[in-house]
Each structure stands twice: as structure tokens, then as C-alpha cells.
Amino acid sequence: MGLSSKTSEKIAFSLLTLATLTVASFVLVILVYIILNGYGAISIEFLTEMPRRMMTQGGIYPAIVGTMYLIIGSMVAALPIGVIAAIYLNEYAGENRTTWLVEMAINNLAGTPSVVFGLFGLALFVKYFGFGPSILSASLTLALLILPVIIRSTKEALLTVPNEYRESSLALGVSKWQTIRYVVLPAAIPGIVTGSILSIGRVAGETAPILFTGAAYFLPRLPDSIYSQFMALPYHLFVLATAGTNIAKTRPIQYGTALVLLLIVLGLNLIAVLIRRHYRNKLKI
Amino acid sequence: MTEAVQNVSQSQIEVENLNLWYGEKQALKNISMQISKNSVTALIGPSGCGKSTFIRCLNRMNDLIKNCRIEGRVLIEGKDIYGPDVDAVDLRKNVGMVFQKPNPFPMSIYDNIAYGPRIHGANKKDLDGIVEQALRSAAIWEETSDRLKSPALSLSGGQQQRLCIARTLAVKPRIILFDEPTSALDPISTSRIEELIMNLKKDYTIVIVTHNMQQAARISDYTGFFLMGELIEFGQTRQIFHNPQERSTEDYITGRFG
Ligand SMILES: Nc1ncnc2c1ncn2[C@@H]1O[C@H](COP(=O)(O)OP(=O)(O)O)[C@@H](O)[C@H]1O
Ligand SMILES: [Mg+2]
């Protein structure tokens, strides 16, 4: 209480700086550690070949391809539904009980542990719809997982579009839907893209939702349809690190896999930043 | 100016016993008014008296507000715009609106103007002509003709407002509503827009809300004075300013309140 406001501001500022530095240094440490341990494993063969000898040798090509398929599959399913749901909630739904319930449901969905999604996907897509353990089942399960993220970020993006744009478009005799389509959505694209890419990061990294819905322990060939099983990077890593035939011997491959996964996610985030900047520049001055 | 006024006998807009409520609160009380074709009608009054609410009834922008209830009739060219067979979206093609804050879309100058015509199905090959025509009519062609592809938001505030007027003209309305179009602008931009509005009168019927009485006196043929949701006095601008019939009109015009 005896502190002058200047002193307390200094203390607060130092604490905040310290917290930021701590977070940043953790990220850096993890990154450096994985790069140092993993880069030796990375080579053209590692990226383009099948695993061999019970995964103690060879590459991780099918796991990379599998993860890519999951990203594409889950985005194709979740992006349109999520964006449409957000448009409905933000632009059309009134503030009533039903809307409130839907928003509650979405928030709870966002907080649900991912293994629950995995079990749900097993029950619904694998068993009930009979898609079996497959890219399709796993992609749809992941789509459910990221749906709340996409809905939320799209809603936030729509909220930042000034109401004046809507009003002046409507005042030109343009219908509400056309206004959304040609003015509101384009202005919201940077936010929507950011949300989508963040959720791609989740799709690339999650293990639990694909565990029961189609990820294969070892499958040295590429999937030939959406009904095939597949390998994926995070699960491959999990298998190598916990259940491989020779865990100690495959350490370099494990770190190599982790590094590839990390690079894919970082690369996607970078793309998100670039797309956002591109649209910012195009829309603003 | 008076001559033109006297020649115009035909009213383009007729408002009959208009009442409007926001929830329980009555914002417009029994307004009746006739607005002549090819004239400028100014609406003045202290802020919060219902001027914006009133002009937003003329293009049904209040439809967008929940809890907003309207009684009475608004006839445009003899047709009740609140009638069952009138589509508010179509109505707004005929009754354009320019807002207080210049608000171009975050697109190029060209796309801002082409926006309305494109959506209303204009032919692609006619667009260039439509855009040029609209920019010329809004007196901003000279400043923009060599930079049509640059973002509209790079223009100055006054230019942005003229761009918004051009955007409205491009849809070819017959009536244009202005809600304090110059209140965010500097004096030079303001006078350019005033000049523009007086020129537009040839082809359009204009209703303008303004908090600036000199502006009303300069550019309008008719003036209506609003106070607390009521239309206190309405008549030729000259008469309202030189010989007001109501005490409160006189007080407002002479600056005794408001
Ligand atoms: N959307 C709204 N909901 C509720 N009340 C409103 C709304 N818009 C305006 N009002 C109220 O109606 C009255 C008239 O407002 P307005 O038409 O904006 O006045 P003016 O344009 O003359 O300043 C004010 O008391 C204002 O608070
Ligand atoms: Mg107002």
C-alpha cells in the first residue's frame, strides 16, 4: 500500500516482461531441443520412403501423407459447416433461448477432452455409419473437434466487421444475404483464415481422436481411398516412443518425426500470417 | 430558388400520421409531411429529437431494428411503402441514403461504385460508363479518374463522402436521404457537398437532416423543425427562418436553445 504508483507500475511491468520472456524461452527451448535432436534424422529418404524393419529404419512418408489427408478431410467437412453456423449465429439468429443454448453447446464442445471425441467418432462414424476405421471416420471426428474453434473465430471475425458496411450495403437496395456474401464475408476473411489455420495445427497434432477411428500402428503403403486406414505423424511418434520394437534405437527417428510435425504446424501458421497480411493490405490503405 | 419551388406542386413523398416506438418509448409522434419532387427538404432540431429516426422510415431502414413499431402511412409516388406488396430491398433501390460518417467499403474506388449496379445485374460492359457517370455526378471524377483501382479508404474524408454519394447515385434512385452528411467534414469539404446537393436537386428529390442551421438555410427549399419526436413546424425555408409561426422554432433558430 505504501508503494507509489510509479513504483507499482514498474513492478507490474517487470513481472509482465518476465512472464512473457518465460513463455517465449520455453517455446524456444522446445524448438531448439527438437531441432538439435531431430535434424540429423531428416533426409530426402526420411521424408519420401516407407518405414522399414518394424519402423526402426526407413522414412515416415506414409505418416506425412496421412496427416495431410486428415487436414484436407477435416477442413472440407468443418470449414463450410463452421462458417455457415457462425454466419447464422451472428447475422440471423436473434438473442433468444435457443441461440443461447446453441452457444453454450459450442462452448462446451470446445472444452471437451479430445479422447471423448475419439470414442464418439468410433461409435458414430466407425460403427453406426459403418465407415470403419478409415480416413473418412478420422477426418469427420477431427472435424467435430475443430468445429467450435472455427465457429468461434469466424463469429469473432464477423463481429469486427463494422455495422456501417452492412447498413450502407442494405441502403443500396442489396439484400441481406448479398450484403453478407459480398461485403461482410470478404472483410471477415483474415479472421476466418486465422481460425482455420489454428485448427489445422490441432488436426495435425491430435492423437486421441484418430486412435480409435483409423490410425494404423504400422502400414507401409499409402491409403488408396477414403475408406483406407492410414498412418499419421502424431500417432507414429507415440508408437515409436512407447511401443516400438526398439525404443532407444529409434530415438533419432522419433525426434525427426517430431521435427517434421513441428515444421508442418509452424509452416501453416506462417501461411496464416501471410494470408492475413495480404488481405489486410488489400482491404485497407 | 423560390420560382422552382412554386412550380413544383407534385409531392413525391407523403407522410400521414406517422408514429414510431422503440419498445415502449415513442420516438415519433403523429408526423405528417409532404415532400415535393426535385426539391431539397431540410430537417432540423436538437439532437435526439427523432430526425434520423424519421428519415430512416422513408427507406425502411428501421425495419432492421428489433422492437421498432410503426403506425401511419408513408406514400412514395402514391404507394404505401409499408404496404404488404412492397419489398423493402426494392424500395431502397429507389430511395438511396448517405450516412453521417463517410463509410466506403474496403474495396477499390471503382468497386465501391460498381458494387450496387453489379448486384442489381448491370451489364459488365456498361459498368465503366456507369462508374464514370456516377463519379462525375458526385463531382469527384477529376480527383479519382487516374486512380480508380486504389483503395477507397485512401481518399480524404470529404472525398470519401462524395464517393459514398456517387455509390448511391450509381444505383439510380429517385430520392436521396442524407443524414448529417457533413457533420464529420471540414468547412471546404462541407461546401463542396452542399454545392453538390443543390446540383443534384435537378434530378433527385432530396431530404437532408442537418444540425447546422446555416446549412439548412443555404441549401434547402423546405425546412421541418423537429422537437421531441414532433414535427413542430414545416414550410418553405425562407418562411421558417424569417417568419416562424411557432415560438419554439424561433427559439431554436435564433439559438436560444438546442
Ligand atoms: N435503435 C434505437 N433503439 C432505441 N431507441 C432509439 C434507437 N435509435 C434512436 N433511439 C432514440 O430515439 C430518439 C430519437 O433518436 P434519433 O432519431 O437518432 O435523433 P436525432 O437523429 O434527431 O438526433 C432518441 O431519444 C434516441 O435515444
Ligand atoms: Mg441523428
Confidence (pTM): 0.84
Compute the distance between CA of residue B161 and CA of residue B163 in angstroms, rounded to an integer.
5
Question: What pLDDT, in 10s, does the model give residues A152-187?
Answer: 999 999 999 999 999 999 999 999 999 999 999 998
CATH class of this structure's domain A64-280: mainly alpha
**Which residues in chain A have Cβ-Cβ distances shorter than 8 Å to B56?**
none
A–B interface: beta-carbon pairs under 8 A: 70
Question: What pLDDT, in 10s, does the model give residues B47-59?
Answer: 999 999 999 999 9
Report yes or no: A285 at the B interface, CB cutoff 8 Å. Answer: yes
Task: Specify the higher pLDDT residue, A245 or B83.
Answer: B83
Q: Which residues contact B205 (CB under 8 A, 6 or more apart)?
A: B12, B13, B35, B36, B37, B38, B39, B174, B175, B176
For B181, the 3-state DSSP assignment is coil
B119 and A283: CB-CB below 8 Å? no
Whole-number pLDDT of residue A284: 56
How many angstroms does the Cα of residue B217 sit away from the middle of ligand 2? 19
Ligand of minimum distance to the alpha carbon of B63: 1
Question: What pLDDT, in 10s, does the model give residues A80-89?
Answer: 999 999 999 9
At B226, phi and psi to the nearest 5?
A: -100, 145
Identify the CATH assignment for B8-253 out of 3.40.50.300, 3.10.20.340, 1.20.1260.10, 3.40.50.1100: 3.40.50.300
Specify the DSSP class assigned to residue A182: I
- The answer on pLDDT for B5 being more than 50 is no
- The answer on pLDDT for B256 being more than 80 is no
Residues with CB under 5 A from ligand 2 (ion): B 52
The alpha carbon of B194 is separated from its chain's Cα centroid by a whole number of angstroms, namely 12
- The answer on pLDDT for B1 being more than 50 is no
How many angstroms does the Cα of residue A103 sit away from the middle of ligand 1? 30
How many angstroms does the Cα of residue B208 sit away from the middle of ligand 1? 17
A283 and B106: CB-CB below 8 Å? yes
Mean pLDDT of chain B: 92
Question: What pLDDT, in 10s, does the model give residues B101-149?
Answer: 999 999 999 999 999 999 999 999 999 999 999 999 999 999 999 999 9
Distance (Å) of CA B21 to CA A83, B27, B33: 35, 6, 19
How many angstroms does the Cα of residue B161 sit away from the middle of ligand 2? 17
- The answer on pLDDT for A285 being more than 80 is no
Question: What pLDDT, in 10s, does the model give residues B53-92?
Answer: 999 999 999 988 989 999 999 999 999 999 999 999 999 9
For B122-238, strand residue ranges (E) read: 175-179, 205-209, 222-227, 230-236
Whole-number pLDDT of residue B191: 92
Query: Which residue is closest in CA terms to ligand 1's atom 5?
Result: B22
Structure confidence at residue B29 as a pLDDT band (50, 70, 90): very high
Compute the distance between CA of residue A221 and CA of residue B113 in angstroms, rounded to an integer.
56
User: Predicted ipTM?
Assistant: 0.91
B167 and A167: CB-CB below 8 Å? no
Report yes or no: A248 at the B interface, CB cutoff 8 Å. Answer: no
Whole-number pLDDT of residue A59: 79
User: Which of A53-62, A97-106, A219-228, B219-228 is least confident?
Assistant: A53-62
Neighbour count for residue B119 (Cβ, 10 Å): 18
Compute the distance between CA of residue B84 and CA of residue A108 in angstroms, rounded to an integer.
43
Question: Is the CB of B224 within 6 Å of ligand 1?
Answer: no
Q: Which amino acid is present at A123?
A: A
- The answer on pLDDT for B170 being more than 90 is yes
Query: Which residue is closest in CA terms to ligand 1's atom 25?
Result: B48
- The answer on pLDDT for B7 being more than 50 is no
Compute the distance between CA of residue B238 and CA of residue B40 in angstroms, rounded to an integer.
13
